[in-house]
Structure 1
Amino acid sequence: MLTHMYTRAAPINKIAGAKADEIFTKLIWRQKNIAKMDYNQRKPPHLVDSLLMLKPRIKTTDDEINIFIDYPATIRFLDLKKTKYGKKKRYYTPIYNRPLFGHLYGRGYSFSTIINLALQQEYRNYFTNLQRVTKLEIYE
């Protein structure tokens, strides 16, 4: 039956939601390791504990994916290269913006790459199914 050949095994939003959970869990794990190595002895001692408890919440609908991560407010101030007085920080390791945008838009294993690959696979499957159906109609 033609309609059976055009059905998808899994919708793209479900594929992207499952991969988003994996990618953002790795992001939080990476940020936790940065906090343990570089920020544990300094200002925010609660940062490592709060990062240990973080879990990404992912909600998928038909046309969008919402990703919620409840970061503590202090993590954004750690990511600044200079102090509030304009002096360069003595110890600085990017913990928020750089890893976050790397996992969202970076090359390799990022969220945008996963969505692009899922879309390309859907297009390939669609056109191979279309070619198969047109060949079946010609020979029948």
Structure 2
Amino acid sequence: MSNALRTTALVVVAVVLGLVLGYTVTQAFSRTAEPAEDPAIIVTAVPAAPTPSATPSASPIATISPTPLPTEISKPPAETNPPAPKPATTAPKTVAAPKPKPAAAKKTVSAPKPQPVYDDDDDEWDDDDEWDEPDDDDEVDDDD
């Protein structure tokens, strides 16, 4: 078998192998990107809130208040509401708005002086698009 024929056969095998491998990888990635036809529904159980019960023994916190001593009966309870504030008889004070500052005197602005036209590019074209003949000092270095 000649060298050219063997090289051609190897190239054909490599191309076919590359096409098959590329097709397989493409199909694998395209299937993972598609959503599942029947998505799984995950149901999680949530415990129900406890229902209040009428019996005091079923409540989680059952407090029994002690019988007050005879000396504590004459005292007013410690958690009494403070007396309500008396209604105000005078209107609340209003703060006057600050007075606006007088406007500053207007300054007269003179028209700006016209700036000379400056050609900042290094080409030989002027602003009027006419070719300017290069001078001897306008040499360009081509040694870059």
Report 1 or 2 for greater relative contact order, CA contacts < 8 Å, sequence distance ≥ 6: 1
Name the larger-Rg structure: 2
- TM superposition score normalised by structure 2: 0.22
If each structure's strand is expressed as a fraction of its own residues, which one has the higher value?
Answer: 1
- TM superposition score normalised by structure 1: 0.23
